[in-house]
Amino acid sequence: MNARSNGISDDHAAQLHVADYDPAFVDPGHGNSKAAWASVVVMLVAVLFGTLFFFLDLPMLVWASAGLLVIGAVLWPILARAGLGVQDH
């Protein structure tokens, strides 16, 4: 048994090396879809305009931006169900 600098034995290192490779474990694809990107972009635009309208003291447009933020959050599952979500490998 040879001591390694990271504290594991050579036998254990060999066992770790032959472990099965599962691409879904390495890259699960969380949120990497057109539905996710569209939803996040809509919500970012809503926050951007909401901040601008708050600074310009336009309360009705601040509330409209808040509504757009909610629409962006609801848009994600709708687009995912429409086929734009993460596809299985």
Instruction: Assess if residue 71 is contained within a domain.
Output: yes
Distance between CA atoms of residues 25 and 28, nearest Å: 6
Q: Classify residue 14: in a domain, yes or no.
A: no
Q: Is residue 44 part of a domain?
A: yes
61 within a domain of the structure (yes/no): yes
Examine residue 73 and state whether it is found in any structural domain, yes or no.
Answer: yes
The residues, any chain, with a CB within 8 Å of residue 56's CB and separated by 6 or more, are none
**Contact (CB, 8 A) for 73 and 39:** yes
Identify the pLDDT of residue 15: 67
Give the helix, strand, coil percentages of the chain, each rounded to 5: 65, 0, 30
pLDDT in tens, 19-77: 555 555 555 556 678 888 999 999 999 999 999 999 999 999 999 999 999 999 999 99
* Domain presence at residue 51: yes
Name the domain count of the chain: 1
Does the pLDDT at position 3 exceed 60?
Answer: no
Domain encompassing residue 62: 31-82
Amino acid identity for residue 66 in this structure? A
Maximum alpha-carbon separation in the chain: 72
Instruction: Decide which of 50 and 5 is more confident.
Output: 50
Q: Let me know: does 39 contact 75? Beta carbons within 8 Å.
A: yes
Higher pLDDT, 59 or 86: 59
52 domain-assigned: yes
Prediction pTM value: 0.64
Residue 39 lies in a domain: yes
